Amino acid sequence: MEHLSQSPNDPDFVQDPYPFYDRARALGDVVFWTDYDMPCAVSHRAVTAALRDRRMGREAPADLAPDIPPALAPFYDVEAHSMLELEPPAHTRLRGLVLRAFTSRRIAGLGPDIHQLCHDLIDRFPAGPFDLLTAYAQPLPVIIIARLLGVPEQDADRLLAWSNAMVAMYQARRTPQIAQDAVTATQEFTAYLTDQIAAKRRTPSDDLLSTLIAARDDGDRLSDAELISTAILLLNAGHEATVHTLGNGVKTQLETGHKDSAPPAIEEILRYDPPLHMFTRWVYEDLDLFGTPLKRGTQIACLLGAANRDPAAYPDPNAFDPARKGPANTAFGGGIHFCVGAPLARLELQIALRILHDRCPSLALTAPPEYADVYHFHGLTSLWVKT
């Protein structure tokens, strides 16, 4: 296995990680990233295989699980009940309960709300240059998820602040202060949801949180801790991915002149500049991944951004082609941990981009967009435009 070094905080890498991915793939399907001290699957075939291989998973083997510092326990106590961090049988039970409530019919029913909210947000665009992220890309998914869960949408700013603080724990720039802010946000978010769940028990309604509560109260084993972790996961993951994808997508469309919002164009946006670039897994038994031996207890990174630009899977991968055909991109992961919110994210992106370009046909950049130092996520600091 070839070794290579690249700081994830290096300014050049932050702005354009794809040359590093090209160098990594040239060394093989799996390389060792010394800055992370772990092997990384970098080709499309290796990432796809690693995401689906049941000899690997998200949950650390019990005898190898890292120690959690007491100061960070509130954050990791919530993570411990998240279906993103669990494996079967716990994952199967929890994901099944969520999918029973998070139905395709419920998601499709959000279409009119998404449509109206997009128009409402555009109606408030200022006359001069403005940041499209704060005016459009950020409020849209947070408000929609608040409505989906059944929590007051006027709390969207608090939900957004808690979400941003918590997901910062997974960024390469993490500091002790970022970690403490994440713990504080977790405690406040947990207290807020505890109150919301209590209110829903007293007065249920037709929303996702009430449906999940009913599943537990009808005899299923969904605990209050699981309810809280699931609600936090749906908000944090849904918000982070959709904001970055919408921002990256508009940037790409304005730079290339392609303003298509059809499903193939959405998939190309997800392939070309995905919101999440790394997804880690633990190796549960000794195995071989395309010629690279991996020992039990190894943690391996699936570099989704590298897989999506693999020339072996996509001809001319560094070109943006809204009509592109090819294998499924890895932006939403794969296997049993494939993103449960993918249908909602796709619906939001299709509607938001179509309405944005219909309402603002002269939309143009007013400043060069810059990416934020948030790896292993990949999103913009701002997106200054004029209509």
The mean of the pLDDT values for the chain is: 94
Q: Residue 362, exposed/middle/buried by CB under 10 A (0-12, 13-18, 19+)?
A: exposed
pLDDT in tens, 105-164: 999 999 999 999 999 999 999 999 999 999 999 999 999 999 999 999 999 999 999 999
Question: How far apart, in whole angstroms, are the C-alpha atoms of residue 235 and residue 207?
Answer: 14
pLDDT score of 216:
60
pLDDT in tens, 262-272: 999 999 999 99
pLDDT score of 215:
76
How does residue 281 score in pLDDT terms, banded at 50, 70 and 90?
very high
* Token pair in block for residue 297: 């207890």
How does residue 236 score in pLDDT terms, banded at 50, 70 and 90?
confident
* This prediction's pTM: 0.94
